[in-house]
Amino acid sequence: MNRVVASVDAPEPALSLLVRILTGDLDASSRDAASLFRTRFQQLTGPLMAKSVEDTLFFRHNLELALNEVGADPTPRAFSLSRFHQEMRIRLARQPDALLGTSTHDTKRGEDARARLYTLTEAPEQWGENLARWRQMNQTQVRFLNDGTAPNAADTWMIYQALAGVWPATLSPDDSEGLKSLEARFLGFIEKALREAKQRTDWIDSNEGYESVVLNYVRHLLSPENTLFLHDFSSSLQPFIRAGLMNSLSQTVIKLTAPGVPDIYQGSEALNFSLVDPDNRLEPDFATLRQNLSSADAKLFADEQQWRNGRVKQYVTATLLRVRQHYLSLFQYGDWLPLKVSGEREDNLIVYARVKDGEALIVAVPRLVFATPTNETLWANTSVVIPEELSGKRYRDQFTGERRALRETLDLTSETGSLLVLLTCE
């Protein structure tokens, strides 16, 4: 409260009174009125936050779209692994039954679109070079209106970044039907993004001239005749797609093994590259999801196409949900134990254990993999230190079924997969 008061330019008596009302620092005769005021104030703050931050600022501040998410902070901040482990321990102590959600009907983009966009920060120079080239390729579609360039620099940055996030992992630049389907969804998003930002146009007083030019710019981007750009965009995006798929699986494993109750929004058991509503409320292909689930197994990991079509993520999700079902106490109350990693890739791994009453779950997932997106080199010359309370036990790999005994260290060099989830067994 002191920080807020110091940052607001308002008469001190008014602020002082507001602070006293909100904190309950009033005499008894005013408490009922103050309680009513606080209730009405709290009823206002939610909608105010939604409309001013989530539905305005998040469409203006386009530095890193992946951070523009409900409940998140769009300002980039350093967040270390030690801080991550600390936050998980706090969550276990304070909110062991809280929701673990990564996509909903109201998120700004699907969880896997965000996972891909995170990787832009791992290769900012490469992304910047790509963007400059793409802008030049499509420069003929830029127009100069009375109120400025269309699209302007900020909206252009937003368009290419949003397109990078929503581009289907299996889409070929020669697939005209696929491009047409993507265009229909993307145009709706762009119109909404421009109006929500309320800078060159808005819902109440739309700027038809600006909107028309920007939407035509987007149509040109996704036109099958724009062959040179589409092939360049698709090709340049591949490293980000591969690293993003790795991020997606890491995010999924953590969500399903961290303190809390995982919530899986419809269709998000497979890949979810949706945009803001109404796009994120489209009905998934449940029949295909059901069919894919019935034939899923660990062999999917070896086939990149199965990563791209979402079957690997679906298999990981189903497998870990079954594990949670059989080990409820471990997941609900098990201690969170960070494990030390050493070796060549020690900065590229998140490793931890959940431990309770002799049961233990060891999890190892990759991070920051843009420069090493292949399974063969992912964990080269890297090992995990196994503490005494976890060593001398037998574990079962939850994806491959392999059983192994762990001693003082777990050597990851020979691991051929990209995820490792080990559970104690008899």
Give per-residue pLDDT as tens, 220-278.
999 999 999 999 999 999 999 999 999 999 999 999 999 999 999 999 999 999 999 99
Contact between 162 and 197 under an 8 Å Cβ cutoff? The reply is no
Helical axes 153-166 vs 111-118, angle rounded to 10°: 120
- Encode pLDDT of 120-149 as tens digits: 999 999 999 999 999 999 999 999 999 999
- Helix H segments across 226-373? 227-257, 286-294, 304-308, 311-326, 328-333
Q: How many residues does the chain have?
A: 426
* Rounded Cα distance, 392 and 390, in Å: 7
**What's the whole-model pTM score?**
0.92
Q: Please, which residues bridge with residue 338 across strands?
A: 352
Q: What is the pLDDT of residue 73?
A: 86
Residue 380 has pLDDT above 60, yes or no: yes
Of the pLDDT bands very low, low, confident and very high (cuts 50, 70, 90), residue 420 is: confident
Work out the average pLDDT over 41-46: 90
Contact between 180 and 174 under an 8 Å Cβ cutoff? The reply is no
Q: What is the pLDDT of residue 378?
A: 78
Contact between 171 and 178 under an 8 Å Cβ cutoff? The reply is yes
Residue 4 has pLDDT above 70, yes or no: no
Work out the average pLDDT over 52-78: 90
Residue 425 has pLDDT above 90, yes or no: no
Both tokens of 44, joined, read 């206002």
Residue 152 has pLDDT above 90, yes or no: yes
Q: What is the pLDDT of residue 231?
A: 99
Both tokens of 249, joined, read 């699986």
Strands (E), 122-174: 143-145, 148-150
Of the ranges 183-187, 299-303, 381-385, which one carries the lowest mean pLDDT score?
A: 299-303
Q: What is the pLDDT of residue 417?
A: 66
Contact between 253 and 417 under an 8 Å Cβ cutoff? The reply is no
Between the CA of residue 104 and those of 128, 251, 382, what are the distances in Å?
31, 15, 36
Residues 6 or more apart whose CB falls under 8 angstroms from that of 377 comprise none
Q: What is the pLDDT of residue 413?
A: 79
Residue-range domains of the chain with CATH: 1-47 (no CATH), 55-329 (no CATH), 334-425 (2.60.40.1180)
Work out the average pLDDT over 205-223: 98
Q: What is the pLDDT of residue 260?
A: 97
Q: What is the pLDDT of residue 286?
A: 95
Contact between 276 and 379 under an 8 Å Cβ cutoff? The reply is no
3-class DSSP state of 336: strand
- Helix H segments across 95-226? 111-118, 124-137, 153-166, 176-197, 208-221
C-alpha Rg value of the chain to the nearest Å: 25
